[in-house]
Amino acid sequence: MMNTEHKNAFGMIGLGTMGSNLLQNIADHGYKCAGYDISADKVAALNKLNPKAIQGFTDMNDFTDSLSSPKVVMLLVPAGKIVDGVIEELLEVLDKGDIIIDGGNSHFIDTDRRFKDLEQKGYHFIGMGVSGGEEGARRGPSMMPGGDKKAYEIVKPILTKIAAQVNGDPTVAYMGERSAGHFVKMVHNGIEYAIMQLISETYEVLKNGLHMEHEAIHTIFEKWNEGRLQSYLIEITRDILAYKKKGSEHLLLDDIKDEAKSKGTGKWTSQAAMDLNLPIPIIDIAVSMRDLSKYKDLRTKASKMYPDSGEIHYHNKNDEHVTKLEQAFYFAMVSAYAQGMHLLHRANEEYDYKLNLDLIAKIWRGGCIIRSAFLEDIYAAYQKDLNLKHLFLDDVVHQNLLKSIPGIRTAVSEAAQNGIAVPAYAAALGYFDNFRSEDMPANLIQAQRDYFGSHTYELKGKEGTFHTEWEAGK
């Protein structure tokens, strides 16, 4: 056995790009660490990276024996049954009081179950969302740990050093109890779905609505990334719209199939919101459009049956419409973040996570996929009012939304008139117009439900529920 001072401070199971990059990040900050994988090739590759600070293993016993106590083991493996299988294997070689961190995109319901089970067995468990992709893992991700707070305090020194830094603050913080970390990461991914869908719809309008060339569209995203729309997703879109393979005369983008994949976190966000009776339509439609993209054969047949009715014609000049489109994007982007934050507020009430929404906005400002200039406004809004129920009610957001309403109305109406699909933009506008309605037409729905199913209704200014024999009044 090695002396404690020579043992590794951190262990990683799963040596894909994310796991390997995180280990290198940890080693860069002065910690010895170990990695385990069933793939001998991945372990061999790891052992070549930094032999003085990183050790790779294919034997689970040797891997855990190399760790100092309490042993800290992080899992970066595919969500689902594989996580449970690895945890079962770990329990054979870990001691009570050791710490297991699930750093994958696990469903928060599974994290709740695992937390309770491991707590009963005497182990510490942290469910931690990690965002930032491969580059984030290597240079500084945003991390959302939840679960065992005492265990978090033990790993906090390492996590704060390897996280991205914004204005001197690390983009990691304890999110809350039980599955809070994975719930927050799930909502992060839902917002990510929404913004990606909005960007794709913007591209569609610029390309097929305003008939712009890729170079001009690239310039627009480049300009937007220098203003209030600055974000990681706008930035990478700018780069994609200029990327050509060596020797090619056209963009790689033109060769990519229009069938979007997903790993389920967007769907989980929609399901969680529906369970909580909370609307997040811009996220819902983003999930639905990814699903629709997979039905290429049906879409191809329908395109022949329902061709465009005529030449697309936008009323404004291109530069005027681009200005309106920038307003529309800002409006819809704000709506995406607002709906996600509202879901976190509601989940906090239902699940008693003890979330701090200002802290969530703070650690999303850097390292993660949805980092953006607007997150500074979100952080400021929740710093000003920790009990803010909805982002639309913040004074600064309110004023900026008012200025952007003409843009979103123009973008949605002109796209509809020209047969260009902008469902996420339309969802953002529809949500807003209903949100600002003191009286929605839901009274008619209640009357209908009572008519066909005797489901009863409530009356204005009266207590109790009521039922009417509607047919008798014909």
Write the Ramachandran bin of 25: left for phi over 0, alpha for psi from -120 to 50, otherwise beta: alpha
Say if residue 105 carries a ligand binding annotation: yes
Task: Find out whether 166 and 366 touch, Cβ atoms under 8 Å.
Answer: yes
Written in H, E and C, the secondary structure of the chain is CCCHHHCECEEEECCCHHHHHHHHHHHHCCCCEEEECCCHHHHHHHHCCCCCCEEEECCHHHHHHCECCCCEEEECCCCCHHHHHHHHHHHCCCCCCCEEEECCCCCHHHHHHHHHHHHHHCCEEEEEEEECHHHHHHHCCEEEEEECHHHHHHHHHHHHHHCCEECCEECECCCCCCCHHHHHHHHHHHHHHHHHHHHHHHHHHHHHHCCCCHHHHHHHHHHHCCCCCCEHHHHHHHHHCCCCCCCCCCCHHHHCCCCCCCCCHHHHHHHHHHHCCCCCHHHHHHHHHHHHHCCHHHHHHHHHHCCCCCCCCCCCCHHHHHHHHHHHHHHHHHHHHHHHHHHHHHHHHHHCCCCCHHHHHHHHCCCCCCCECHHHHHHHHHHHCCCCCCHHHCHHHHHHHHHHHHHHHHHHHHHHHCCCCCHHHHHHHHHHHHHCCCCCCHHHHHHHHHHHHCCCECCCCCCCCECCCHHHHC
Say if residue 61 carries a ligand binding annotation: no
Say if residue 193 carries a ligand binding annotation: yes
Point out the catalytic residue in the list 42, 71, 185, 362.
Answer: 185
Say if residue 133 carries a ligand binding annotation: yes
Say if residue 384 carries a ligand binding annotation: no
Task: Find out whether 27 and 50 touch, Cβ atoms under 8 Å.
Answer: yes
Tell me whether residue 192 is one of the annotated catalytic residues: yes
Burial class (CB in 10 A: 0-12, 13-18, 19+), 378: buried
Say if residue 132 carries a ligand binding annotation: yes
d(CA 226, CA 222): 7
245: which residues sit within 8 A by CB, 6+ positions away? 252
Say if residue 454 carries a ligand binding annotation: no
Tell me whether residue 249 is one of the annotated catalytic residues: no
Say if residue 290 carries a ligand binding annotation: yes
The two tokens of residue 13 are: 């199971």
139: which residues sit within 8 A by CB, 6+ positions away? 25, 164
Q: Is the peptide bond before 70 cis (omega within 30 degrees of 0)?
A: yes
Say if residue 345 carries a ligand binding annotation: no
Point out the catalytic residue in the list 32, 71, 192, 326.
Answer: 192
d(CA 97, CA 353): 23
Say if residue 114 carries a ligand binding annotation: no
**Binding-site residue positions for substrate:** 105, 131-133, 188-189, 193, 263, 290, 449, 455
**Binding-site residue positions:** 105, 131-133, 188-189, 193, 263, 290, 449, 455
Which positions are catalytic?
185, 192
